[in-house]
Amino acid sequence: MDGQTRQVVVLYFITIFSLFSRYNSLEKDPPPPSYNYFEDLVSAGYDPQAYPSYFTTTIDDGHFKDLISQRTQVISQLQKLGVTSAPSTKTVNVNDFGATGDATQDTQAFEKAWEEACSSKGEVVLEVPQGQRYQLKPIRFSGPCNSNLTIQIYGSMEASDDMSDYKEDTKHWLIFDSINNLLIEGGGTGNINGNGKIWWQNSCKINKTLPCKDAPTALTFYHSKNLKVQNLNIQDAQQIHVSFEKCNGVQASGLTVAAPESSPNTDGIHVTRTQNIWITNSVIGTGDDCISIVSGSKNVQAMDITCGPGHGISIGSLGSKSSKAYVSGVTVDGAKLSGTTNGVRIKTWQARRVRKCKQHLIPEH
C-alpha cells in the first residue's frame, strides 16, 4: 500500500468513526421529525441576539439518511481498496488434543495439535501451557505451514529417557523442519529438557570401554527462514542443545542454556550452514562450546553473551577429513566468559591451513 493510499485509508477510518458515533447515538435516541433545537432554547430563556449559536439549524430525517448513505459509500470504497478488518487469531492448545501434562507420554497429542496448527490458515498460536510437564518421544514438526505460526512454550517439554525410542533417528529429538516465519516464545517459563543423563553415562568420553555413538540434539531448526526463538530455557540435552542448520534470517534472544560442566559434547548453540543469524542476550553454560560455528555459515552475530562453564565460543572444528570449510562474517561483541577452558577461538583439524582470516578481539575489563 503506497503513501497516498494510506492517507486515504486513514481519512476513511476517521470518517467512519465520526459517522458511526453520530449514527449510533441517533439510533439510541432519535429526534422527532423536523425537531428544532432553537425553539426549545428560546422557551428556556435563551437570547439569540446576545448569544448567536449554530443551534439555529433545523435537523430533519433527510439529513440523517444522508449520513447513513455516506457511511455505506465509505465502507464500499474501503472494500474496493482491499481494506478489511484484522483477522482473528486461532489458538490450538495441546491439551485439547489429549495431552495430559503429567509427565507421561504426550507425543501423539503434540503431533495432532501440530497438524491442526500447521494446516490452518491465518494467524495461529500453538500453546504448551505453563505449569505442566509433557514427556515426548522424538518428533519432527514438518512444514511448510499454511499459517503464520507462533508457538508459546510456557510449560516443560521433557525427552523420553528410553533410548529405544530413538532407534529410528539417534541424532535428533525435536526437529522443526522447513517452517518459515516461525516464532517460538518461551515467556521465561518455557523449558526444553533433554533428559540427557542416560546418554552421558553411555558416552565413550565418560566410559572409555564403550564405543562412540551418536546422541540426539535436543532442539533442531532445519531449512527455515525468518525464524525467531526467544525467552526459552533449554537444559540437559542428550548432546547439542540447539542447532540451526541451513537456516536464513534467525533471531535467537533471551535463551538460557544449561548442562553440567562434565556433560560430554553438550554444545549450547550450534550454527551450521546458516546465514544472517543474531544470537543475543543469552546465558550459556555447558560441558562443551557455548556457541559453535561450523562450515557454510556466514554473517553470524553473537552479542551480549554470558558464557561459562564450557569451552568458550568457537569457530570450528573446520577441515575434517581434508575437506574445505568456509565461515565468514562472524562478530562477537559484549561476550562475558567465566570458568571456560578457552575464550573465542578458531579450531581446525591437524595439518589444515586457515586462509584469509582476520581476528579483531577486544577484551572487556
Q: Provide the 8-state DSSP code for 86.
A: P
Cell of 259: 548442562
Report phi then psi at 25, rounded to 5.
-65, -35
Residue type for 344, please? V
Name which of 23, 37, 34 is nearest 65 in CA terms.
23
**Which of 223, 270, 311, 365 is the catalytic position?**
311
| Cis status of the peptide bond prior to 144, with omega within 30 of 0 | yes
Nearest Cα neighbor of 334 from 360, 309, 362 is: 362
**Long-range CB contacts for residues 104-111, cutoff 8 Å, separation at least 24:** 104/135, 105/135, 105/136, 105/137, 105/160, 106/134, 106/135, 106/136, 107/136, 107/137, 107/139, 110/134, 110/136, 110/139, 111/139
Please state, in angstroms and rounded to a whole number, the distance separating the CA atoms of residues 305 and 290. Answer: 9
Residue found by looking up cell 514438526 in the block:
141
* Alpha carbon distance 110, 113 (integer Å): 5
What Å distances lie between residue 89 and 125, 126, 354, 358, CA to CA? 7, 11, 50, 48
Return the number of other C-beta atoms located less than 10 Å from residue 244's C-beta: 27
In whole angstroms, what is the distance from residue 250 CA to residue 270 CA? 13
Q: Do the Cβ atoms of 110 and 94 come closer than 8 Å?
A: yes
Residue 223 annotated as catalytic: no
Other CB atoms closer than 10 Å to residue 35's CB: what's the count?
Answer: 13
The residues assigned a catalytic role are 311
